[in-house]
Amino acid sequence: MNLKTMAIAINIVTAFFTFALSFASQAATLKISPKGEQLLFDQTAFTVKAGEKVKLTFNNTSSMQHNWVLTAPGTADKIAQDSITAGAAKGWLAIGPDVLAHTKLVDPKKTDTIDFVAPTKPGDYPFICSFPGHAMTMKGILTVK
Ligand SMILES: [Cu+2]
């Protein structure tokens, strides 16, 4: 390999990593918290692109345990019900194929950050807190476009 070939090779490698870095930094960044001590999220609507990388941080500013659970359309009520049965040992979450992404059960004044890939099918994906009794009001919609 002569010097010119090596220079071209280095340029190609540099271009590749620059491209890879720019792609990696394109993850959508979402931040959500409870609304004070109410059984509400402070954000009830997010929009992301289909198949997009998402980084979500749930900052539990309240004095209760909560989580953030993304559900397949039409399944939030069942997941909330099943999560009561799942019990404290399972973090009050019935994990199954309709749970598309979730934080851990976050203790008061703690945060959890998760990375996931947005659904590839456009639509409205409900998110809930699956702690018993919270999902009726502690919910929102992640819109995938
Ligand atoms: Cu909650």
Give the contacts of 108 (CB within 8 A, at least 6 positions apart): 60, 62, 63, 64, 65
37 alpha carbon – ligand 1 mean position (Å) = 10
* Residue 129 CA to ligand 1 centre (angstroms): 5
Contacts of residue 113, Cβ cutoff 8 Å, sequence gap at least 6: 55, 56, 57, 58
Q: How far is the CA of 136 from the centre of ligand 1 (A)?
A: 10
Nearest to 106 by CA among 134, 136, 73, 78: 134
Q: Give the pLDDT confidence score for residue 23 in this predicted structure.
A: 55
* Structural contact between residues 55 and 113, judged by C-beta atoms closer than 8 angstroms: yes
Q: Say what the pLDDT of residue 15 is.
A: 59
pLDDT given at position 26: 77
Ligand 1 center from residue 27 Cα (angstroms): 26
Q: From the CB of residue 25, how many other CB atoms can be counted at a distance below 10 Å?
A: 9
**pLDDT score for 6:** 62
Q: Measured between alpha carbons, how far is 139 from 38 in angstroms, rounded to an integer?
A: 12
Which CATH number applies to 27-144: 2.60.40.420, 3.40.50.1000, 3.90.190.20, 3.30.1330.60? 2.60.40.420
* pLDDT in the model for residue 8: 56
pTM, rounded to two decimals: 0.84
Distance from residue 66's CA to the centre of ligand 1 (Å): 4
In sign, the C-alpha dihedral spanning 65, 69, 75, 76 is positive
Digit-by-digit pLDDT tens for the chain (145 residues) are 676 766 656 565 555 555 555 555 579 999 999 999 999 999 999 999 999 999 999 999 999 999 999 999 999 999 999 999 999 999 999 999 999 999 999 999 999 999 999 999 999 999 999 999 999 999 999 999 9
Distance 40 CA to ligand 1 centre (A): 8
